[in-house]
Amino acid sequence: MRDRQAGTGGLGGLVLAVVLGGCGDDGSSGSAGAVGSSGAGDATGQPADSTGTSADESTGAAVVVSGDAFAFTLPGEDYGRIDGATISVLEQPSVSVTTDAEGHFELPELPPGSEATFVLQREGFPVAHTKTFTLPEAGPLGQVTFQVPDDELFALLAGVLMIEVDPGACQIVSTVTRVGKSIYDEGAHGEAGATVAIDPPLPAEAGPIYFNAAVIPDPTLVESSEDGGVLFINVPPGVYTLTATKAGVEFESTVMRCEAGVLVNASPPYGLQALP
């Protein structure tokens, strides 16, 4: 999940994305928006008791969520922006906006403290989900990103990696990310030497598969590299929690809602982010 240009998404996810439909959240040029600057530090990623109420029914002010949709490309090429994509909320399907020419979106009225899994849909791209956020009680949630390869690149990468994608399953991608790193930063973002677990557990063949320093998924690796990328393939539909472990480092856990045919990608700093 290595990125080639600030603000373009990680590419460890590229190959991963390919495999899973789009990944990338760390790597050599970007990992996610800085929590401190976006006010997103209040979003823990843990499931909340969402009531499904509208912002007007909430006791607090509406939460504004903003971010960017990035298109994965082959290594050496800058990531593009996905314009004209529909961004919606899985738990509140009536809420949706369309990305602008720069791939930017803003959802202005979401209820504080509610659960929100953001969904990207656009012709020519696989359906993609973010992780499931618990929205902050106050303040905005910024730099929520999608990093998705188009259908052609997705198929190409899956073929190169000899992975037969199960249409009844989802593909899960995240990045084990160093403190303070985000997709909007340059340079490698991964926290090397961490191990990742998923709950409920999956068969060994599903992963974790870690990306090496060259941003290639390497089934022989038993822990994260400086790229930080990790993936689970052909995951049955359900709700999963990813955790990372490394001596002396604490990581935020990540909740993923897996649906058939969907790529789920937790971009830094909203994935397996190392905590200060």
Give the residue carrying structure tokens 């022989």: 220
Rounded CA gap, 134 and 211, in Å?
Answer: 28
* β 170-177/263-266 pair status: parallel
Rounded CA gap, 270 and 264, in Å?
Answer: 12
Q: What are the tens digits of pLDDT across the range 135-182? A: 999 889 998 988 887 777 777 767 766 678 888 999 999 999 988 887
* Per-residue pLDDT tens listing for the chain (276 residues): 444 333 333 433 444 444 443 334 433 333 333 222 333 333 333 333 333 334 444 455 789 999 999 887 665 566 688 999 999 999 998 899 999 999 999 998 899 999 999 999 999 998 999 999 999 998 899 989 888 877 777 777 677 666 788 889 999 999 999 888 877 777 678 899 999 999 999 999 899 999 888 777 788 899 999 889 899 999 999 999 999 999 999 999 999 999 999 999 888 888 899 999
Helix, strand and coil percent figures for the chain, each rounded to 5: 10, 35, 50
Please name the residues in contact with 108: beta carbons below 8 A apart, sequence gap of 6 or more.
Answer: 62, 64
Q: Where are the domains of the chain?
A: 12-273
Amino acid at 268: P
Q: Name the nearest CA neighbour of 174 among 12, 7, 8, 5.
A: 12
